[in-house]
Structure 1
Amino acid sequence: MTPPRDIHQYLAEFDDIPGTRVFTAARARQGYHLNQFAMSLMKAENRERWKANERAYLDGWKLTEEQKQAVLDRDYNRLLDLGGNIYFMAKVFSTDGQSFLQAVSTMSGMSLEDYQAMMLAGGRSPTGLRSLKDKY
């Protein structure tokens, strides 16, 4: 009988996938308040308070300073690193008037047009760098 794998070791392996952030239980715990903030933007009155003074609105939430700065910078990749869930972060870019496509194209470092063309052609190629360990 094969001994069971350590779940933490198994989940840590996901961090080796270039350009991918898997939303694990650890990230969910880390980003709980960040994601709650984002979900608060579902209410019109909260969106108005947010638009009136973003920093003051963020200060009302139990976020780390790093999370607050990433929100203010609209650095969605950093937000995912800090526990944000892309579907919750969508509330932020929707409040900014951005579509999902517009926001995620900024995360790829590609122009909107290039990102859209890539996705319409089937997405990124599965060949190439598959592990951060292989990079060195």
Structure 2
Amino acid sequence: MTGPKDIHEYLGAFDDIPGTRVYTAARARQGYHLNQFAMSLMKAENRARWLADERAYLDEWPMSQEQKDAVLARDYNRLLDLGGNIYFLSKVFSTDGLSFVQAVSTMTGMNVDEYKAMMDAGGRSPKGVRSIKESY
């Protein structure tokens, strides 16, 4: 059997898939407090505090400044890069009143109607989207 020699080499190969962020143990560790913040929004009293003063609420969490800035910007792709789990981050966009489709469409560069049409047609074609190193 041939292939990667160690787990880091194996997991590193996932970083070569365009538009894909594999939620690895390293990302989970990096995003622990970010994801805990997001899950805190399951409680009505925390959502109220968040909506009243987002910055003050974020500053209660030991997240990196980069994570906090990405939350405030609602940059979900960046949040995934910084260890966010999309299912936990859904608490943020749900608090903003967005559906999953509305929020995810912002991650694709498409508007909601374009995104829905693409998904109804079967999603993105994998043709030519196999490797970042090979320029797609």
TM-score scaled by length of structure 1: 0.96
Give the C-alpha shift of residue 3 in structure 1: 8.9
Cα contact 2:4–2:10 (8 A) shared by 1: no
Letter matched to residue 17 of structure 2: I
Letter matched to residue 18 of structure 2: P
Question: For the residues of structure 2 that align with 1:4 and 1:133, how far apart are their CA atoms?
Answer: 17
Match of 2:94 in 1: 94
For residues 59-98 of structure 1, the aligned pairs below 5 Å read 59-98=59-98
Moved more, 62-71 or 122-131: 122-131
Alpha-carbon spacing, 1:98–1:2, altered in 2? closer, same or farther (3 Å): closer
User: What SS class does the counterpart of residue 60 from structure 1 fall into?
Assistant: coil
Alpha-carbon spacing, 1:4–1:19, altered in 2? closer, same or farther (3 Å): closer
Alpha-carbon spacing, 1:69–1:14, altered in 2? closer, same or farther (3 Å): same
Question: For the residues of structure 2 that align with 1:105 and 1:30, how far apart are their CA atoms?
Answer: 25
TM-score scaled by length of structure 2: 0.96
Match of 2:132 in 1: 132
Alpha-carbon spacing, 1:22–1:2, altered in 2? closer, same or farther (3 Å): closer
Gaps (5+ residues) in structure 1? none
Number of matched pairs: 136
Letter matched to residue 8 of structure 1: H
Question: For the residues of structure 1 that align with 2:3 and 2:109, how far apart are their CA atoms?
Answer: 42
Match of 1:28 in 2: 28
Gaps (5+ residues) in structure 2? none
Question: For the residues of structure 1 that align with 2:39 and 2:112, how far apart are their CA atoms?
Answer: 25
Alpha-carbon spacing, 1:111–1:4, altered in 2? closer, same or farther (3 Å): closer
Letter matched to residue 117 of structure 2: A
Letter matched to residue 24 of structure 1: T
Letter matched to residue 123 of structure 2: G
What is the root-mean-square deviation of aligned Cα atoms in Å? Answer: 1.5
Give the C-alpha shift of residue 128 in structure 1: 1.2
For residues 3-22 of structure 1, the aligned pairs below 5 Å read 5-22=5-22
User: What SS class does the counterpart of residue 127 from structure 1 fall into?
Assistant: coil
C-alpha offsets along residues 2-38 of structure 1, whole Å, 9 cap, x if unaligned?
7983011100110000000000000000000000000
